[in-house]
C-alpha cells in the first residue's frame, strides 16, 4: 500500500482519508504479526550467540584464572572468601550448600519422576495386624509436577548464580591486576541502599510474583498437556499423566460432545464471539457515555459540579458484589422490577431479563454501564480539563459548533491520551468475571452446548466458562487450562496488533 506523507494526506478528500485510515489499520495487522515472528527469530538468534559467548568467557576465565578462581568453579564463593569479600563469599557458598542438599534430599527424586508423573497409584492392601484392607497412597502426580517445576526453577537459579560467581572472579582478578582495591563488605552493604537500591526494593515483590504467579502459571500450562481432572487427581483415585496435544484436539474437534450436544469447538467459538462482542460493547459504551457525563458536568455555567461528581463517585465506594447481586435480583423473574410493573398492571407476564438470551445480554451491558460510568467520568474529567482552552476558543471564532469541536478537538485528544487505557480496559472486560458471574452466572443456559463441560450459558465469557469447568462435576482441569491458554493467545494477539497501531504507547520516555 502507498504510504502518504502528512502533506499528501491532508490533500486527500474525506472519503480517501477514511479508506486510507482503514487500509492502514488492516495492513498494520499482518505487519504486527510479522514483527512478532521476526522478533521471536531475533531473540532466538540473540540467545544462541549469547550462550556461545558466555561459554567462551567461562572457558577463558578458567584457563587464565589463578588457583582461587579455578577452585571457585567447584566451591562457589571461594574466590570471594580467599580475597577478603567474606559476605559475598558466604552467600555464594550458602546457596550452593542449600542447592546440593535440596537436590539430594528430594529435587533429584522429583525430577526423575517428571517424565512419568508417577508410576504406582493408590492401592488396597491387606493389613494383617488389624485384619482390614486399607488404602495405601503411593506416588502423587500433583506433587511430582509441582516439585518438578520448583526444581527446574531452582536449577535455573543455580546456573545463573554459578555464572555470576565465575564472572565475579574474573572481575576481581582484573581489579587486583590493575592495582586497585576490592570492595569491602561495608561497601556492599551500603550499595544495597544506594546504587543497588533497585535490587533491594524489588527483591520482595519479585519473589512473591515468582512463587505465586509465575510458578502457578507454568504449572497450569503444563497441566494442559496432561489428563488431570476430578477422576485423575493424581493422588487418591488415579494418577494423571502426559497426554501430549490431546486436550487441544478435544477443544478444536468438530465432532459432538459426550452429551450429544454440539462440539467443543462450536461452543468455544460461540463463547469467544460473545466475549469479544461484550468486551467491545462494555468498553466503548462506558467510554463514550462516561466522557459525555464528564463533559456535561464540566460545562461552563453548570453549578454544583462537586455534588454531581460526589454522587457518582460514591457508587464506586460500595463493594461491587453488593450492587451487582442486588441489581441482579432486582431484575429477576420475581424481582422488584417485574413485581412492581405487574402490580401497576403495565405488564401481564414478567419480563425475561435473565431468561432470554438477547434480553440477558442487553441487560448485562446496560448494568455494566451503570457500574462503569463513574470510573470513566473520573478518568476523563481530568484529561478533559487538560485540553488547552485556546483550541476551543479559536475553533469558536472560526464558527465551529459544539459537535464539530467535539469531533475535531476533544475526541482526537482523548483517544490519543487514553489509547493505552482503552486497550487494558478491553482486555480487562474480556476477563470481567465479577460482572458476568454475579449478575447472571452465565444464564440463560445454552441447551446446544450441554455436551461441553460445565453448564454453558448465553452470557458466559471464556473466563466464567473456565471457572465452571474447574468447579463443575468432572473438574476437567486440563480443559480449563487449555481454555486459559486460549484466552492468553487471544488477549496477546489483540494487544500486539493494537500496540503496533497506537502511537501513544510506543515511546514510554516521551511521556515522562
Partner 1 sequence: MNQKRHMGLKALNRASNTAIYILLIIISVVWLIPFVFILLQSFRVESTYQVGYVIPHQWGWQNYINLWNSDFKRWYLNTFIIALASAVLVTVIQLCMSYTLSRFRFKLRGPLMRFMLILGMFPGMLTMIILYRVLSDLGLTQANAVPGLILVGVASSGMGYYVSKGFFDTIPKSLDEAARVDGATRFQVLYKIILPLSKPIVIYTILTAFMGPWGDYVFARYVAMGTSAGYNVAVGMYSWLTNDQIARMYTTFCAGGVIVAVPVTILFLCLQKYYVEGVTGGAVKG
Q: Tell me the C-alpha distance between 240 and 228, whole Å.
A: 5
**What residues between 401 and 430 interact with partner 1 by CB under 8 A?**
417-418, 420-421, 424, 427
Closest to 220 measured CA to CA, from 493, 487, 484: 484
Tell me the closest approach of the beta carbon of residue 342 to partner 1, in angstroms: 7
Using CB atoms within 10 Å of the CB of residue 286, give its burial: 0 to 12 exposed, 13 to 18 middle, 19+ buried: buried
> Using CB under 8 A, which of 94, 280, 326, 416 touches partner 1?
326
Task: For the chain, report the end-to-end CA distance as a whole number of angstroms.
Answer: 34
Closest to 152 measured CA to CA, from 107, 200, 106: 107
**What residues between 124 and 163 interact with partner 1 by CB under 8 A?**
142, 146
Tell me the closest approach of the beta carbon of residue 104 to partner 1, in angstroms: 22
Q: Is 142 in contact with 121 (CB distance < 8 Å)?
A: no
Q: Is 378 in the site for partner 1 (CB under 8 A)?
A: yes
Size of the site for partner 1 (CB under 8 A): 97
User: Angle at CA 497, nearest 5°, toward 286 and 18?
Assistant: 75
Task: Characterize 387-421 residue by residue with b for buried, 16 or more Cβ atoms within 10 angstroms of its Cβ, and e for exposed.
Answer: eeeeeeeebeeeebeeeeebeebbeebbeebbbeb
- Of 48 and 193, CB closest to partner 1: 193
Tell me the closest approach of the beta carbon of residue 52 to partner 1, in angstroms: 20
SS3 label, residue 242 = strand
**What residues between 262 and 321 interact with partner 1 by CB under 8 A?**
293, 296-297, 299, 301-302, 308, 310-321
> Using CB under 8 A, which of 431, 445, 450, 500 touches partner 1?
431
Q: Is 437 in the site for partner 1 (CB under 8 A)?
A: yes
Tell me the closest approach of the beta carbon of residue 461 to partner 1, in angstroms: 10
Distances (CA, A) of 84 to 65, 68, 177: 17, 12, 16
Q: Is 329 in the site for partner 1 (CB under 8 A)?
A: yes
Tell me the closest approach of the beta carbon of residue 1 to partner 1, in angstroms: 29
- Of 75 and 490, CB closest to partner 1: 490
Tell me the closest approach of the beta carbon of residue 492 to partner 1, in angstroms: 5
Q: Tell me the C-alpha distance between 73 and 57, whole Å.
A: 13
The answer for residues whose C-beta is within 8 angstroms of residue 144's C-beta and 6 or more apart is 110, 113, 114, 117, 118, 234
**What residues between 445 and 464 interact with partner 1 by CB under 8 A?**
462-463
Tell me the closest approach of the beta carbon of residue 305 to partner 1, in angstroms: 10
Computed on alpha carbons and rounded to an integer, the radius of gyration of the chain in Å comes to 31
- Of 135 and 512, CB closest to partner 1: 512
Tell me the closest approach of the beta carbon of residue 9 to partner 1, in angstroms: 28
Stretch that binds partner 1, among 12-20, 171-179, 242-250, 473-481 (CB under 8 A): 473-481
**What residues between 46 and 75 interact with partner 1 by CB under 8 A?**
none
**What residues between 192 and 231 interact with partner 1 by CB under 8 A?**
193-195, 197-199, 201-202, 204-206, 208-209, 211-214, 216-217, 219-220, 223
Tell me the closest approach of the beta carbon of residue 512 to partner 1, in angstroms: 5
The answer for residues whose C-beta is within 8 angstroms of residue 123's C-beta and 6 or more apart is 135, 136, 138
Q: Work out the angle between the directed axes of helices 357-386 and 411-430 (0-180°, nearest 10).
A: 140
The answer for residues whose C-beta is within 8 angstroms of residue 194's C-beta and 6 or more apart is none
> Using CB under 8 A, which of 379, 435, 449, 479 touches partner 1?
379
Amino acid at each position: 500500500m502507498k504510504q502518504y506523507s502528512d502533506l499528501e494526506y491532508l490533500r486527500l478528500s474525506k472519503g480517501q482519508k477514511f479508506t486510507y485510515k482503514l487500509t492502514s489499520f488492516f495492513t498494520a495487522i499482518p505487519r504486527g504479526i510479522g514483527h512478532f515472528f521476526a522478533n521471536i527469530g531475533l531473540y532466538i538468534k540473540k540467545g544462541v550467540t549469547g550462550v556461545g559467548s558466555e561459554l567462551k568467557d567461562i572457558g577463558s576465565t578458567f584457563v587464565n584464572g589463578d588457583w582461587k578462581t579455578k577452585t571457585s568453579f567447584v566451591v562457589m564463593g571461594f574466590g570471594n572468601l580467599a580475597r577478603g569479600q567474606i559476605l559475598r563469599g558466604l552467600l555464594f557458598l550458602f546457596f550452593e550448600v542449600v542447592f546440593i542438599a535440596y537436590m539430594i534430599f528430594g529435587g533429584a527424586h522429583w525430577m526423575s519422576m517428571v517424565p512419568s508423573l508417577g508410576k504406582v497409584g493408590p492401592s488396597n492392601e491387606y493389613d494383617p495386624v488389624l485384619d482390614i484392607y486399607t488404602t495405601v497412597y503411593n506416588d502423587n502426580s500433583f506433587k511430582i509436577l509441582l516439585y518438578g517445576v520448583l526444581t527446574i526453577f531452582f536449577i535455573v537459579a543455580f546456573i545463573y548464580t554459578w555464572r555470576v560467581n565465575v564472572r565475579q572472579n574474573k572481575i576481581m582478578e582484573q581489579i587486583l591486576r590493575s592495582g586497585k582495591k576490592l570492595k569491602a563488605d561495608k561497601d556492599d552493604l551500603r550499595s544495597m541502599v544506594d546504587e543497588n537500591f533497585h535490587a533491594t526494593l524489588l527483591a520482595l515483590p519479585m519473589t512473591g510474583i515468582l512463587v505465586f504467579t509465575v510458578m502457578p502459571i507454568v504449572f497450569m500450562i503444563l497441566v494442559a498437556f496432561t489428563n488431570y481432572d476430578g477422576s485423575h487427581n493424581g493422588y487418591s483415585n488415579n494418577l494423571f499423566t502426559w497426554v501430549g496435544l490431546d486436550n487441544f484436539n478435544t477443544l478444536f474437534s468438530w465432532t459432538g460432545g459426550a452429551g450429544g450436544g454440539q462440539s467443543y469447538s462450536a461452543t468455544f467459538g460461540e463463547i469467544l464471539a460473545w466475549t469479544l462482542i461484550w468486551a467491545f460493547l462494555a468498553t466503548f459504551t462506558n467510554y463514550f457515555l462516561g466522557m459525555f457525563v464528564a463533559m456535561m458536568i464540566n460545562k461552563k455555567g453548570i453549578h454544583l459540579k462537586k455534588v454531581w461528581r460526589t454522587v457518582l463517585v460514591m457508587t464506586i465506594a460500595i463493594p461491587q458484589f453488593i450492587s451487582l447481586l442486588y441489581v441482579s435480583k432486582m431484575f429477576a423473574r420475581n424481582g422488584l422490577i417485574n413485581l412492581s410493573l405487574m402490580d401497576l398492571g403495565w405488564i401481564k407476564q414478567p419480563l425475561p431479563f435473565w431468561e432470554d438470551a438477547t434480553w440477558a445480554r442487553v441487560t448485562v451491558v446496560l448494568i455494566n454501564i451503570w457500574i462503569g460510568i463513574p470510573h470513566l467520568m473520573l478518568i476523563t474529567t481530568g484529561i478533559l480539563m487538560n485540553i488547552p482552552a485556546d483550541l476551543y476558543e479559536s475553533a469558536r471564532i472560526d464558527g465551529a459548533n459544539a459537535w464539530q469541536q467535539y469531533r475535531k478537538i476533544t475526541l482526537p485528544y482523548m483517544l490519543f491520551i487514553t489509547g493505552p487505557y482503552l486497550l487494558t480496559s478491553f482486555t480487562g472486560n474480556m476477563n470481567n468475571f465479577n460482572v458476568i458471574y454475579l449478575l447472571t452466572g452465565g444464564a440463560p443456559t445454552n441447551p446446544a452446548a450441554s455436551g461441553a463441560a460445565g453448564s454453558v450459558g448465553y452470557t458466559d465469557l471464556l473466563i466464567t466458562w473456565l471457572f465452571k469447568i474447574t468447579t463443575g462435576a468432572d473438574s476437567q482441569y486440563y480443559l480449563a487450562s487449555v481454555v486459559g491458554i486460549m484466552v492468553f493467545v487471544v488477549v496477546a494477539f489483540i494487544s500486539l496488533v493494537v500496540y503496533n497501531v497506537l502511537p501513544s504507547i510506543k515511546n514510554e520516555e516521551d511521556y515522562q
